[in-house]
Amino acid sequence: MKFLRWHAVACFAAVLGVASPAVRSQTLEGESPPPAVDLTPRILFQVLAADLAMQRGEVRAAWSTYLTLARQTRDPRLARRATEVALGARAVSEATESARLWLELSPNSSNAAQILETLLLGSAKPESAESLVSARLARARQTGDLAEAYATLQRHLARSTDAAAAWRLIQRLSGADLAVPQARMVRGALAQAANEPSAARAEIAEALRLAPNDPQIAVPAARLLAIRPESRTQALAILDRTLSQDARNVDALDLKARLLVALGQERQALQIFARAIEIAPNEPSLLLAAAQLAQQLRLTTQARGYADAYLGLPETDRRERDQAMLLRARIAEDEGRSNEALDWLSRIPRGPLHLAALTRRATLLIRQGQIEQASALFQAEVAQTDDDRARLISAQASALREAGQQQRAFDLLEQGLKALPDRVDLLYDHGMAAERIDRVDVMEQSMRRVIALKPDHAHAHNALGYTLADRNQRLEEARALIARAVELSPDDGHILDSMGWVLYRLKDFRGALEWLRKAWALSPDTEIGAHLGEVLWVAGQRDEALDIWRIARSREPDNKTLAETLQRLGARL
């Protein structure tokens, strides 16, 4: 019993942040002096109970005990401890409740105010933090720290689940700081998030006017403008101006390279990545992005060099490292070294990319004629739920499809649906597999069932509509299906491509070009390029068609849709 009492005393001292009960009046910097707390047996027992609950992983019980003690004793240190426990468990509502109490008990605590402000700004009601933010901005105006205050504010507001409310809030709070470029940038970012592009562009323009030569303004401004396709050329101009002043600005080079990729200028982008890597040779994000781009361009020697440099770094993000090993396997595969690819894939541990690696291993084995070995990989996986089983069936079907075994993929999905009927994911894959073996009737049945089960499934509407349009069948019905898909997912380039394609089949060339250009701007995919090029060719704009096709072929030289399109139209690149 004596040991338990001293253990409880030690727990209490640790919670209060002091070495022993003899100095329990000690406070953190900025905290209000806490009340004297008598260590009664009841309090000691509750502290011990909270500590044991934490050790057992019963976080909510521990939080509740600390919060109850804080209310009873009015000690802000216990409220702080309750907040820390809730934050550690990512229990946002509990953390908010205890942070409110902490600030109430210690009104001068900057830590309590900052934590509560962060929690409120990231909530569905960011305006509830208005008084806290207003007070912090007022202090920043006095100390001259407005730039940092707005940078912090932007990070917090970016987490809000109500972007429109966050935009309204920043407009109210920043009225006194419109001559501060960082304030304008925050306003621009939040306007963009609230889908107010005109307001965003105006705020960004004003920030650039206030600080025309500041790369800390220019690069974030370009990043915001690059979000929307119609502003990407302007973003590129801002980056070029920044780089003319400082050619070694790695952030500007990185963003320019990624922007060039979005604009379809991949080879120029790779050159920019190379310049950035010369300046920052151990920057993981640069090496991984350059490796991915080089592999996409089939520049395997460069891709391997960048990927190996990335994998040679001592510490990198676990998921990105797995991604790099997956890429390294693809590079080995491109170079015709299947066994090396299999070795890289086998190194990827269980995690988010495990199933992708497993699927690729199976694909390579099937291509080598080792179908039974590939099947054994999936059979060795333990599926504990129907979701797990469905994912494994889809992954195995994907491996068969990638290896050219279309009928086997269809048969596997057909069998899977007998065990797991009305699984939307399996039904969709089943429909797509049926289309690939020219069983359009079965494809339509599966997609209709998906739509019945999940009426907002944009890709099912699109797949059925596109299939009909591509076969020049029931075109008005196809257009209606695709129109619904556009309504459900208006920013999906492949769905916009389908609308352009059905309009082309309906001989509406102007409308087709409008939609296909939008699709190409959003997703410069090879098949979208093939479609856009065909409509341009038929419409008599053959030079532009050839330019689009050249870009598309540089990205995917072996694409069957593009090759068939060029052969059918008699076009030569």
Q: What is the pLDDT of residue 523?
A: 86
Note the pTM of the prediction, 2 decimals.
0.72
Distance CA 481, CA 142 (A): 59
Contact 26, 36 (CB under 8 A): no
* 559: enclosing H helix or E strand: none
Question: How far is the CA of 471 from the CAs of 9, 503, 567, in angstroms?
Answer: 78, 13, 18
Residue 87 lies in a domain: yes
Packing angle between helix 163-173 and helix 130-143, nearest 10 degrees? 40
- Running along the chain, 573 residues long, what does each successive block of 10 average in pLDDT? 41 45 41 61 72 76 81 85 85 82 82 80 77 84 86 81 87 91 92 91 94 93 89 94 96 96 90 97 96 94 96 87 95 94 94 90 91 89 88 93 93 95 96 96 97 97 97 96 96 95 96 96 91 96 94 87 94 87
Contact 565, 552 (CB under 8 A): no
Domain that holds residue 50: 1-121
Distance CA 113, CA 99 (A): 8
The token pair at 573 is: 């690149």
Q: What is the pLDDT of residue 39?
A: 61
Distance CA 533, CA 548 (A): 6
Q: What is the pLDDT of residue 490?
A: 93
Residue 198 lies in a domain: no
Distance CA 336, CA 330 (A): 10
Distance CA 20, CA 3 (A): 16
The residue whose two tokens read 């090496």 is: 287
Contact 446, 459 (CB under 8 A): no
Distance CA 552, CA 529 (A): 6
Q: What is the pLDDT of residue 208?
A: 95
Q: What is the pLDDT of residue 22?
A: 31
Q: What CATH number corresponds to the domain at position 78? A: 1.25.40
Q: How far is CA 556 from the centre of its chain?
A: 25
The token pair at 443 is: 């494809």
Residue 186 lies in a domain: no
Residue 410 lies in a domain: no
Question: How far is the CA of 291 from the CAs of 258, 306, 349, 558, in angstroms?
Answer: 13, 5, 21, 20
Q: What is the pLDDT of residue 565?
A: 95
The DSSP code sequence of 267-307 is HHHHHHHHHHHHHSTT-HHHHHHHHHHHHHTT-HHHHHHHH
Q: What is the pLDDT of residue 5?
A: 43
Distance CA 514, CA 499 (A): 10
DSSP code for 455: T
Count other C-beta atoms under 10 Å from residue 51's C-beta.
Answer: 20
Distance CA 520, CA 232 (A): 14
Residue 96 lies in a domain: yes
Domain count, the chain: 1
Residue 25 lies in a domain: yes
Residue 407 lies in a domain: no
Residue 113 lies in a domain: yes
Q: What is the pLDDT of residue 32?
A: 58
